[in-house]
């Protein structure tokens, strides 16, 4: 009988495959539990099997971070300085925020707000001046993507790999990104890898780890970790919500107030750093931020209520939502959204007017349904239907990107993305 590998053994085999093939390897390190365990795995692997080899550590410092996170990042890099090459990036890229009704993003380390920074620049960090591809229109996720070819050019290597500590247990989207059969851009037949460019790959060595595996490994091997998680545990935060991320994104709003309990000094500086932080911290779990069940005011339809909310916003924010709505309406009228036969029958039973196409351009058994926006509908598949109520919820949540609606990029956003991708391709090909 053949013994199955445990997750630790499997991860070590994956690391061997990566280090054998690539000229340079680095870890994307946030300071959280998953990237922390991955970095510890790499340190153990190199010390045991490839002593003397260097490992890059890529850390995007968002300025507003828990004190324990900052200390953990500095500590693990200092304790392993003989094999780790630190790339701590303090760059004023755009970062999404859902704390403000009129600001869709903020910038860490913004020079014009130096007097408001919550902490000083770390020693030996990289700033915007170090990256020729940087521009004020760059978002954090764009920067992350363009960093790899920049690093490859800097290290003068051919094949480079970024190790990423995401796990399929965390979400279905992560499972699709890592392990979906539709992702054919693998290194050899390793489904835990993804080709990002010529000789540029991401690898996910701990994709099959459970949360319990992470903490068992920390305990068994006595690895260093972010002690913020001890405070999370003491504060009664469930394991699923114990994350280290930018505190101002939509996924973090409900737990924003935890900052006040576990890091009060940082909380005091955060309040004046980003617009709406104190309000979101107090009301992030309430109807005021759109997280609970909402009702249209008496005498208002959801459509009328949406335009009322839009009229309360500054022009730039209002026009952003209207553009998202225009694009979505056109999509549902001309292309149609893909819905299951069961959902289609529910629409028919509710008296909704629509037309059904036979085939979709997407790989799905669902059928394209063309329809106009409706006010509201009480079905389980509510989030799949274009309603003014969903748009109202986006506005109440300060969801400027309209993730709750599942909106695609606007024409302007696509143009900006293409501009950055062209710069990325030039950088990748060594033309910058």
CA–CA gap between residue 252 and residue 115 (Å, rounded): 26
* Neighbouring C-alpha atoms within 13 Å toward the C-beta of 413: 12
- Check residue 321 and give its pLDDT: 86
**398 pLDDT higher than 80:** no
Write down the pLDDT at residue 178.
57
Q: Which of 212, 216, 217, 267 is closest to 239 using CA atoms?
A: 212
What is the per-residue pLDDT across 180-189, written as a single tens digit (0 to 9) for each? 555 558 888 8
Task: Give the DSSP per-residue string, 265-305.
Answer: HHHHHHHHHSTTHHHHHHHTTSGGGT-S---PPTT--HHHH
Give pLDDT tens digits for 160-202.
999 999 888 655 455 555 555 555 588 888 989 999 989 999 9
Q: Residue 403 pLDDT > 80, yes or no?
A: no
Query: Which carries the bigger pLDDT value, residue 102 or residue 16?
Result: 16
Measure the CA–CA gap between 319 and 237, rounded to whole angstroms.
38
Q: Which of 63-77, 100-114, 223-237 has the highest mean pLDDT?
A: 63-77
Q: What backbone torsions phi and psi does residue 273 show, to the nearest 5 degrees?
A: -80, -45
In tens, the pLDDT along 57-102 reads 999 998 888 888 999 999 999 999 999 999 999 999 988 765 455 5
Give mean pLDDT, residues 138-156: 94
The pLDDT-based confidence of 376 (bands split at 50, 70, 90) is very high
Sorted by where each starts, the structural domains of the chain and their CATH numbers stand as: 7-217 (3.40.50), 302-396+402-416 (no CATH)
C-alpha closest to that of 71 among 28, 117, 36: 36
Residue 282's pLDDT band (cuts 50, 70, 90): very low
Q: Is the pLDDT of residue 14 over 90?
A: yes
Spatial separation of the C-alpha atoms in residues 36 and 194, rounded to whole Å: 21
pLDDT at position 82 is 96
Whole-number pLDDT of residue 408: 52
pLDDT for the residue 286: 42
Q: What percent of the chain has pLDDT over 70?
A: 74
Return the pLDDT at 7.
93
Assess contact for 149 and 426: CB atoms under 8 A: no
Residues ≥6 apart with Cβ < 8 Å to 184: none
Among the ranges given (58-67, 120-129, 235-244, 340-349), the one the predictor scored with the smallest mean pLDDT: 235-244
The percentage of the chain sitting over the pLDDT mark of 90, rounded to a whole number, equals 44
Does position 255 have pLDDT exceeding 60, yes or no? no
Q: Judge whether residue 288 has pLDDT over 70.
A: no
Please report how many Cα atoms fall inside a 13 Å half-sphere around the Cα of residue 68, on the Cβ side.
18
Q: What is the pLDDT of residue 263?
A: 62
Please, which residues have CB within 8 angstroms of residue 408's CB and are 6 or more apart in sequence? 327, 331
Q: Which pLDDT score is estimated for 314?
A: 79
Residue 402 token pair: 């309209």
DSSP string, 388-415: HHHHHHHHHTT-TT-GGGTPPPPHHHHH
Top mean pLDDT of 201-215, 254-268, 298-312 is at 201-215
Between CA 147 and CA 120 the distance in angstroms is 23
Conformational region of residue 102, where left means phi above 0, alpha means psi within -120 to 50, and beta covers everything else:
alpha
Of the listed ranges 15-29, 70-84, 230-244, 331-345, the least confidently predicted one is: 230-244
Q: Are 420 and 411 in contact (CB under 8 A)?
A: no
Tokens representing 249?
A: 């994104």
| Cα(4)–Cα(132) distance, integer angstroms | 48
- Contact assessment for residue 151 and residue 54, using Cβ atoms and an 8 Å cutoff: no
The pLDDT-based confidence of 48 (bands split at 50, 70, 90) is very high
As to burial, measured by CB atoms within 10 angstroms (0-12 exposed, 13-18 middle, 19+ buried), residue 10 is middle
Q: Which of 55, 69, 117, 72 is nearest to 90 (CA)?
A: 117
Inform me whether the pLDDT recorded for 113 exceeds 80.
Answer: yes
Mean of the per-residue pLDDT values of the chain: 81
- Measured distance CA(428)–CA(132) in Å, rounded: 13
């Amino acid at each position: 009988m053949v013994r199955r590998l445990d997750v630790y053994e499997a991860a070590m085999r994956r690391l061997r495959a990566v280090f054998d093939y690539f000229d340079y390897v680095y870890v994307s390190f946030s300071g959280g539990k998953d990237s922390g365990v991955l970095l510890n795995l790499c340190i153990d692997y190199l010390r045991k099997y490839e002593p003397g080899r260097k490992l890059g550590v890529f850390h995007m410092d968002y300025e507003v971070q828990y004190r324990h996170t900052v200390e953990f990042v500095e500590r693990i890099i200092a304790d392993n300085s003989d094999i780790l090459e630190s790339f701590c990036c303090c760059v004023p890229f755009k970062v999404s925020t859902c704390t403000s009704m009129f600001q869709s993003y903020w910038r860490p380390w913004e020079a014009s707000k130096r007097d408001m920074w919550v902490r000083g620049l770390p020693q030996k960090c990289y700033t915007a001046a170090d990256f020729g591809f940087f521009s004020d229109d760059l978002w954090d996720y764009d920067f992350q993507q363009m960093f790899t070819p920049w690093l490859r050019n800097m290290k003068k290597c051919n094949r480079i790999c970024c190790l990423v500590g995401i796990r399929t247990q965390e979400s279905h989207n992560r499972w699709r990104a890592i392990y979906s059969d539709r992702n054919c851009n693998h290194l050899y037949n390793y489904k835990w890898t993804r080709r990002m460019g010529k000789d540029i790959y991401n690898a996910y060595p701990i994709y099959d780890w459970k949360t319990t595996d992470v903490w068992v490994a920390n305990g068994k091997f006595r690895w260093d970790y972010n002690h913020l998680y001890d405070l999370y545990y003491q504060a009664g935060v469930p394991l699923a919500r114990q994350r280290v991320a930018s505190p101002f994104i939509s996924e973090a709003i409900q737990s924003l107030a935890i900052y006040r309990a576990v890091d009060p000094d940082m909380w005091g500086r955060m309040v004046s750093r980003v617009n709406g932080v104190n309000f979101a911290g107090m009301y992030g779990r309430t109807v005021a931020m759109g997280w609970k069940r909402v009702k249209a005011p008496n005498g208002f339809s959801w459509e009328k209520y949406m335009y009322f909310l839009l009229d309360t916003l500054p022009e730039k924010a209002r026009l952003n939502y209207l553009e998202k709505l225009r694009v979505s309406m056109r999509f549902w009228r001309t292309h149609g959204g893909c819905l299951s036969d069961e959902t289609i029958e529910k629409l028919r039973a509710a008296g909704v007017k629509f037309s059904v196409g036979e085939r979709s351009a997407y790989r799905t058994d669902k059928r394209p349904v063309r329809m106009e926006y409706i006010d509201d509908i009480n079905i389980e598949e509510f989030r799949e239907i274009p309603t003014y109520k969903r748009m109202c919820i986006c506005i109440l949540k300060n969801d400027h990107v309209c993730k709750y609606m599942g909106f695609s990029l606007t024409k302007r956003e696509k143009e900006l993305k293409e501009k950055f991708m062209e710069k990325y391709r030039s950088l990748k090909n060594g033309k910058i």
